[in-house]
Structure 1
Amino acid sequence: MPSFQIIGTGQLLELQRRLRAAGHENIRSSMQRRVRRAAEPLRNDLQNTVRTLPMRSQGRASGKRGGPSPTKRPFRTSIARAIRISVRTGGSPGARVFLDKGLLPPDIPVGAVTQMNNGRLRHPVFGNRRRWTNQYTPSLWWDKTVRQHTPRMTAEVARVVDDVSRRIE
């Protein structure tokens, strides 16, 4: 399952210890909120990327039947809705942008997104496990989107950590 984490273990762990010792609950919640805000553009960009991701099929062989999808749910929109942010300040503090498998419909496995990131999605035709097809996407779309946002997020989290550490000193 693709996910992205920003973890500055040393700085964040030390800052978390100092916040607990000082008893600054409002500063800690403010820090969580600011780290979440730093991760929101990445989540939004990943959602937009997956919604607009071009997918082409391998096509039908001559003489094969086709037809409309038996589900009315858009595949890429379902995946976009499952992209979430998690901010932790406990044992391993940091921000994580990930695909929440609990929010995916039961017929979409988490491995489908990993396959899409690799450029090919292989799946049964309308759920028929005896007939399979391939769909193709640009490869590494998740990784490229994350790489574009990494410098900005790292700088933003470092600024949040510096601001919070100055406030509790």
Structure 2
Amino acid sequence: MARIEVRGAEQMAELAKRLKGADAKVRRRLSKSIRDGVRPAVADTKRAVLAIPVTGARGGGGKARTEHHLTRVKDPESERARKRAAARSGLRRSIAAAIKADIQTGGRKAGVRIVVDANKLPQDQRTLPRHLNSKRGWRHPLFGDRDRWYAQSGKPWFEVTIRKHVRKIRRTILKAMDELAKEIES
């Protein structure tokens, strides 16, 4: 996915240095404020991927995603676990479930990113969020038949959605940082 940067990372890094000596509750409050500010963008990004229209054949990778979800439960043989895994096995639904905010309040990499956590997807499908975000799309064997290939197109949804929220996220983060900086100084 393309990287969207919001200016102000320098201030965040400076505040992170000052937070090292501060109480852990203060750092947690900053993270919570940032998470609350990013939450609408994450939710909107999830809605955007779910809204991508389904085209062409269905059911190509659902089995792999179902099996992947079953690796994460205690009793993968239970009927309930199989039904829940199958219900979460759609590509768009799996990608939506893997979208999260990654917040770093310390060190040189202080900042906020909205990412698709590839570890939550099956091994062979970890590049699909990037392809689904591209007009160019991708090619894959039709139902596993390597003699017949199918071209699947994508639609930009990731950056387009996040860009709508950048100003508000930035304002929220800067406000939270200013409040905490004032609290630390006093």
Deviation at 1:163, TM superposition (A): 0.9
2:119–2:126 Cα contact (<8 Å) kept: no
For this pair of structures, how many residues does the alignment match? 158
The residue identity in structure 2 corresponding to 1:117 is N
Which aligned pairs between 1:10-159 and structure 2 lie closer than 5 A? Answer: 10-21=10-21, 23-57=22-56, 69=60, 71=63, 72=86, 73-91=89-107, 92-110=109-127, 112-119=128-135, 120-137=137-154, 139-159=155-175
Quickly say closer, same or farther: Cα 1:7–1:46, change in 2 above 3 A. same
1:10-29 C-alpha deviation (Å, 9 max, x unpaired): 211111112223x2221111
State the Cα distance separating 1:86 from its structure 2 match: 1.2
Aligned equivalents of 1:55, 1:136: Cα separation in 2: 10
- The 3-state SS of whatever aligns with 1:122 is strand
Per the TM alignment, residue 47 of structure 1 is displaced from its structure 2 partner at its CA by 0.9
Shift of 1:56: 2.1
Q: Residues 68 and 153 of structure 1: is their aligned pair in 2 closer, same or farther, counting only changes over 3 Å?
A: closer
2:68 equivalent in structure 1: none
**SS class of match (1:118):** coil
Deviation at 1:3, TM superposition (A): 5.3
Amino acid at match of 2:183: R
Q: What is the CA deviation profile of residues 71-102 of structure 1, one whole-angstrom value per residue up to 9, with x for unaligned ones?
A: 35211101111111111112111111101111
Q: Which has the higher contact order (CA 8 A, sep 6+)?
A: 1
In the superposition, the TM-score normalised over structure 1's length comes to 0.82
Over 3 Å counting, the alpha-carbon distance change for 1:75 and 1:68 in structure 2 is: closer
**Inter-partner Cα distance in structure 2 for 1:129 and 1:81:** 29
Query: What root-mean-square deviation, in Å, do the aligned CA atoms of Structure 1 and Structure 2 show?
Result: 2.2
Name stretches of at least 5 consecutive residues in structure 1 with no aligned partner: 60-66
Shift of 1:8: 2.4
CA distance in 1 between partners of 2:143 and 2:126 (Å): 15
* Cα separation, partners in 2 of 1:127 and 1:106, compared to 1, 3 Å: farther
Change (3 A) 1:7 1:36: farther
Identity of aligned residues (%): 28
